[in-house]
Amino acid sequence: MRPPWWRDIALLPSAISGVALAIGFGLDWGGSAIAALVLQWIALIAGASTFVPGTVRRLIRGRVGVGLLMTIAAIGAVALGHVGEAAALAFLFSLAEALEDRAMDRAKEGLRALLSLIPDTARISRLSGEKTIPVAEVRQLDILIIGAGERVATDGIVVDGASSIDTSAVTGESIPVAVRPGDPVPAGAVNGSGTLRIEVTADGRDNSLTQIVALVEQAHARKGERARLADRIARPLVPTVLIIAALVAVFGFIVGDATTWIERALVVLVAASPCALAIAVPVTVISAIGSASKYGVVIKSGQAFEQLGTIRTVALDKTGTLTRNEPQVVEVASYGYTEPEVLAFAAALEASSTHPLAAAIVAAAPGASPGQGVEEEAGLGISGVVDGHRIRVGNTRWLDPGKHRAAAEQLAERGMTVVVVEADGELAGLIGIRDELRGESAETIRMMRDIGITPIMLTGDNERTARALATEAGITDVRAEQLPADKASAIGNLVSTSPTAMVGDGINDAPALATATVGIAMGVTGSAAAIESADVAFTGHDLRLIPSALAHARRGRKIMTWNIGLALAIIIVLFPLALFGVLGLAGVVLVHELAEVLVILNGVRAARRPKAANPVTQSQREALLAQV
């Protein structure tokens, strides 16, 4: 971890250089020329030791960089007898480099801190009893024992016990989540008051937390469009500046004033060095990506981060993204029986069914007695005997609602799947089942519109259901009944008109995620294919992270633009001032390196977490708590 600045050894050479330089200048002004010269040499050697060796190594490998300009400028200044100015150059450049490294370390600290959420040891259950082992030795199918207040060592599924877990440090969710057998638990979560037994699904060294860290660290190797632009500017600038400086020196020999023009050539060399430009983008990207990972947004590359800041349209999948992907009974219409009786009839038969809607019906009528002689008609429904009644439960294609068809149509218009319940050959009731919207879906759409983002629903579901839920969420543009290829084609068309992000979680979303300007995967519930295809993944499932991430990226992009503009402006302004002798070496070095420090400090601002476009109100927070 990064030590306090006063204990950071990396800053020691710059500190020695700065102190020696200051004392040296003081002695020089006081008339002690020899003592001043000694201290200036100490300052020069201390400062140069931080970048000259690396510059020489890169030059041997054929790589030309900013450090070469600084090295040549320092050597030339010494050759001209300006040891003090060479020392000032070495001090300021070494300090800027050290501050850059420290800023990079600061940006990475939040990422490394994620790994500290994993405990060093874990309690596991063995035939011989409980045993404490290093987390690195935990393997899949081991049974973890997590006591009250303890952190979960790796990913797993609850097999025994009930509790609530705090995942705020991992997913950014501020509200504890209730868990019971069958529920997944991520590494790094903090257990509540109950004791949990968790079956391990990922080795201790390879879990969701370590994968998040690995994904974010990949950002260092992949730069965005603007980073490549900065590199394209800096790469030819170094040899160009060397050539111009050489021409200025040659001009001095031609006009007969070699000393003056060689000195100006050295000043030009320093004035045109692209130090600030070289660091303008990386420090911003790394700061922003590291910060985003701490509140549940994993951005896989610098390019993805920069493109995220350009997004103007967001296409969202319906099932599992806007909705909970947990079908629920939302309405019951009964005819001749009570609503509980209708639900009990259906649940008695569906208890043995594997149909996706069966679980919703059984959950709505817990404790219903199982039916007898249950037979399932594939694709149609199920029949059997319940409390002496011959019951059939199925879709409207198999069981005709008769005179109540209009009621069935109304349920369907509201986005529900209609299940017909028949008792002894007569219609007993209609059950409306729907995958409900997430509690924050409508607020998320409103937040997007507030920051100028156009939301679109892109789903494979039927038109009627899609439009009903889209209306509730506040989405007007709906593309329904889309196959995976259709989704990818639709995203391709949207990308051709404006930068577009796709948000999804299923395997069928993978082509669209890969086609979008930025693919965003809902990491908690998302399939491996979706997460692999996406550029951004959410470790939580709160959709409000989407507008927050977009605002974060926009702000980072603005900081990058400002940094690049400042770096280029410094070069453009200082170059003629140096060429015509308006500024000397010391003045140019001072202005240039102060600008570099300013670029670094500005880039670090990208680490600040963005405020929500519309903060959650107390009533909304209470409603969310009630849902949990």
Catalytic residues: 317
- What is the C-alpha separation between 77 and 335, in angstroms, rounded? 98
Helix (H, G, I), strand (E, B) or coil at 98: helix
DSSP codes of every residue in 412-431? HHTTPEEEEEEETTEEEEEE
Sign of CA dihedral 254, 258, 261, 267: positive
Query: DSSP string spanning 184-239?
Result: EE-TTPEE-SS-EEEEE-S-TTSSHHHHHHHHHHGGGT---HHHHHHHHHHHHHHH
Long-range contacts: 215-219, Cβ < 8 Å, 24+?
215/298, 215/300, 215/537, 216/111, 216/289, 216/290, 216/293, 216/298, 216/299, 216/300, 217/111, 218/300, 218/301, 219/285, 219/286, 219/289, 219/299, 219/300, 219/301, 219/302, 219/305
Contact in structure between 21 and 39 (CB atoms under 8 Å): yes
Residue 1, judged by CB atoms within 10 A of its CB (0-12, 13-18, 19+), counts as exposed
Which residue shows structure tokens 């069966």? 358
**Planar angle of CA 390, 393, 395, nearest 5 degrees:** 145
Torsions phi, psi for 455 (to 5 deg): -90, 145
| C-alpha to C-alpha distances, 155 to 118, 146, 201, 205, 206, nearest whole angstrom | 11, 12, 6, 11, 9
CA distances from 209 to 111, 291, 424 (A): 10, 15, 56
CB 520 within 8 A of CB 503: yes
CB-neighbour burial class of residue 335 (10 A; exposed 0-12, middle 13-18, buried 19+): middle
CA distance 624 to 174: 11
Alpha-carbon 552 to chain mean position:
10
Within a 10 A sphere around the Cβ of 149, how many other Cβ atoms?
Answer: 10
Q: E strand or H helix at 620, and its extent?
A: helix 618-627
* Spatial distance between the Cα atoms of 623 and 628, rounded to a whole number of angstroms: 9
Residue 391: strand pairing partners: 384, 423
Site of tokens 């638990």: 185
